[in-house]
Every structure is written in structure tokens, then in C-alpha cells.
Amino acid sequence: EADIYQTPRYLVIGTGKKITLECSQTMGHDKMYWYQQDPGMELHLIHYSYGVNSTEKGDLSSESTVSRIRTEHFPLTLESARPSHTSQYLCASSVLGYEQYFGPGTRLTVT
């Protein structure tokens, strides 16, 4: 069973604040991903990493940034939150890039 954790689960924050969404996995997977999903819509890949010190932007343009200093940790940061950033953010990890294991997600609301 996959062990991948995201904190916080829910976050309501004001415009202009800096936020970091945490994602950790205990499976030793090299590949990690961040997706953004709005209600009733598909998941969009916004960032991915294939290993330590490797990060790439995904298919959907995002103002967020990521880092991968440790294998198990893949945090996502928004320097200045805006209402347009309101969404659900899902983190995933994988061994080979096929079956990806998802965390529970963070639902972000920017007021």
C-alpha cells in the first residue's frame, strides 16, 4: 500500500500570503508529481521531479514553484497567493511513472 502524505488537508488564506504545501512519501519513489484539479475537471500536471535536484514544469502553467532536496519530500510553494489559485492540489509518486500513487490532496481557498 502506498504511503504518501499531504499537509495541510484544507487551507483558507488571504490574498498575498506565501504558502507551502507539503508532500512526503515513505516508499523511496524517485518520481513525484503535483497536479491541480478544479471541481468536475481533469487533473492537470503542474510540476514533476524524477529525482533529487530534478524539477520540471508540467503541462499546465503555474505560478507555483517546487523543490526536491530529499527523495521523500516534494513541497510546493506559492510566493503570493491569489483567488485564482483556489483549487485542489494533489501530490503523487511512482517508481516507473506508470501507476502513480496519490496523496489525499490539499484543498486551497484564497480569499
Partner 1 sequence: DQQVKQNSPSLSVQEGRISILNCDYTNSMFDYFLWYKKYPAEGPTFLISISSIKDKNEDGRFTVFLNKSAKHLSLHIVPSQPGDSAVYFCAAIPQGAQKLVFGQGTRLTINP
Selected from 40, 61, 69, 84, the binder of partner 1 by CB under 8 A is: 40
Considering only residues 51 through 70, tell me which ones interact with partner 1, judged by CB under 8 A: 58-59
> Where does residue 89 rank: exposed (0-12), middle (13-18), buried (19+ CB within 10 A)?
buried
Provide, rounded to whole angstroms, the least separation between the CB of residue 69 and partner 1: 21
Angle at 13 between CA 8 and CA 19, to 5 degrees: 60
Task: Establish if 13 lies at the interface with partner 1 (CB under 8 A).
Answer: no
Provide, rounded to whole angstroms, the least separation between the CB of residue 16 and partner 1: 27
Pairing of strands 10-13, 106-110: parallel
Selected from 46, 78, 81, 90, the binder of partner 1 by CB under 8 A is: 90
Task: Establish if 101 lies at the interface with partner 1 (CB under 8 A).
Answer: yes
- CA distance between the termini of the chain: 36
Task: Establish if 76 lies at the interface with partner 1 (CB under 8 A).
Answer: no
Cβ 37 vs Cβ 25: under 8 Å = no
The values of phi and psi at residue 83, to 5°, are -55, -30
Task: Establish if 28 lies at the interface with partner 1 (CB under 8 A).
Answer: no
Provide, rounded to whole angstroms, the least separation between the CB of residue 6 and partner 1: 8
Indicate the residue among 10 and 16 with the shorter CB distance to partner 1. Answer: 10
Which amino acid appears at position 58 of this protein? G
